[in-house]
Amino acid sequence: MKTRKYLLPVAAAGVLALSLSACGGGGSSSGGGGGNSGGGDAAANMDGRGPITYVQGKDNSNVVRPLIEKWNAAHPNEKVTFKEQTDQADQQHDDLVQNFQAKNANYDVVSVDVVWTAEFAAKGWLQPLKDKMALDTSGMLKPTLDAASYKGTLYAAPESSDGGILYYRKDLVPTPPKTWDEMMSMCSIAKSNNMGCYAGQFSKYEGLTVNASEAINSAGGSVLDKDGKPSLTTDDAKAGLGNLAKAYADGNIPKEAITYKEEESRQAFQDGKLLFLRNWPYVYNLATTEGSSKVKDVLGMTALPGKSGPGASSLGGHSAGMSVYSKNKATALDFMKFLTTEETQKFFATQGSLAPVLTKLYDDKDLVAKLPYLPVLKTSIENAVPRPVTPFYPAVSKAIQDNAYSAIKGEKAVDAALSDMQKSIETQSK
């Protein structure tokens, strides 16, 4: 089982901050990791009010538009326009980087995946949320605050958290598995029902970094050790990635799952093609409300399986960051505050089954009555392991994705894939 040492606050303890020097490959942009070279003027336009744009990935659960309509009705002179990106994390990232590099004043408030905070903050693209621009963060889940901070400063407003959930078919699996081995032993049920057994997200993109890290963490390993150095050549890491490679080879993970991102895997599960699915909480709402869903009444949700008990999710989630290039920062800040109110957070939870960033909502009786999985989700998030915190995250993630992909497909031995991952991440620190 995952030890709790990685659950220490990242910003305070520096436990997970990857120990990289300032000259790694940091995606396409130039500039050091520590300074604000190339960044905009954080002191400018702080009192600016007027129309703004909010940029976010595909609104799978249709929560953003109704929320913006509500805001716009109350703020006719400070209307928000929604710029919707694709549903792929990597494309969302690249679009933001390009627009920050172009100093686009019209990307006022942007949705920042927890793994991009360090990079965007180090580049000087995000307005620090302090002093005049401070946000009331009392009552927010600590992991979401840590993930929105860099070097002790808050750079974005936590908007929704995310923790991995194991979805399963209650009609076919009376008692959900607690361990990976138990889950694999239940794959005979899938076979006799002519369906695939397990899938997560194994396409080569950020989702695979999430899934490969979870496999490693859940087997007792870790991507980084407690000093922030890569620790991928351990027996536990090998067992974790090995679990995915073996299941893919023997068919317990169906072959088509190598192309799955979140949405394809959700669709397969909703179509009745999978017994178990690893995915984020947003699936609950769509799987129980979409007319075509075959799992509406048989949807089970439990913790990800681990080695000898529950496993450890990768911490996911998004925060709303303000571009330093925005001309209307006062409006942007008000809109960010609006995203974090109790009312908005409840709306995200009930309409889209998104994970709230306010701790108390997980124990709110009315909400738990409507969303019975909230306690499972709270545990998932509290025990979740952050992905490496570094301004050079894209390069680190690529090393994990590329090697995990080859190992799962059987094109590279698990051992070799892990030591290549290790070397590649170490190279970033040279």
Q: How far apart are CA 250 and CA 119, in angstroms?
A: 39
Contact indicator for 328, 50 with CB cutoff of 8 Å: yes
| Cα–Cα nearest to 161, from 343, 22, 404, 361 | 361
Contact indicator for 307, 218 with CB cutoff of 8 Å: yes
- The one among 71, 167, 198, 280 contacting ligand GLC by CB under 6 A: 280
User: Looking at beta carbons, which residue is closest to ligand GLC?
Assistant: 316
Q: Does residue 39 interact with ligand GLC by CB under 6 A?
A: no
Q: How far apart are CA 167 and CA 299, in angstroms?
A: 7
Nearer to ligand GLC, 261 or 329 (CB): 261
Q: Does residue 114 interact with ligand GLC by CB under 6 A?
A: yes
Q: Which amino acid is at 361?
A: L
Nearer to ligand GLC, 208 or 253 (CB): 208
Region near ligand GLC per CB under 6 A, out of 61-69, 269-277, 312-320, 373-381: 312-320
How many binding residues for ligand GLC (CB under 6 A)?
13
343-346 long-range CB contacts below 8 Å, 24 or more apart?
344/67
Nearer to ligand GLC, 105 or 320 (CB): 320
Least separation, in Å, of the C-beta of 405 and ligand GLC? 14
- The one among 113, 146, 159, 402 contacting ligand GLC by CB under 6 A: 113
Contact indicator for 177, 186 with CB cutoff of 8 Å: yes
Query: 369-396: b or e for each residue (b if 16 or more CB lie within 10 Å)?
Result: eebebbebbbebbbbbbbbbbbbbbbbb
Least separation, in Å, of the C-beta of 94 and ligand GLC? 14
Least separation, in Å, of the C-beta of 262 and ligand GLC? 6
Q: How far apart are CA 220 and CA 30, in angstroms?
A: 37
| Cα–Cα nearest to 324, from 50, 131, 42 | 42
- The one among 26, 128, 164, 207 contacting ligand GLC by CB under 6 A: 207
What part of residues 131-170 is at the interface with ligand GLC (CB under 6 A)? 162
What part of residues 177-206 is at the interface with ligand GLC (CB under 6 A)? 206
Contact indicator for 377, 349 with CB cutoff of 8 Å: no
Least separation, in Å, of the C-beta of 129 and ligand GLC? 20
Token pair for 391: 């301004």
- The one among 210, 286, 295, 312 contacting ligand GLC by CB under 6 A: 210
Q: Does residue 386 interact with ligand GLC by CB under 6 A?
A: no
Nearer to ligand GLC, 39 or 316 (CB): 316
Least separation, in Å, of the C-beta of 246 and ligand GLC? 24
Q: What is the dihedral of CA 114, 202, 307, 362, to 10 degrees?
A: 40
Write out the residues near ligand GLC by the rule CB under 6 A.
89, 113-115, 162, 206-207, 210, 262, 280, 316-318
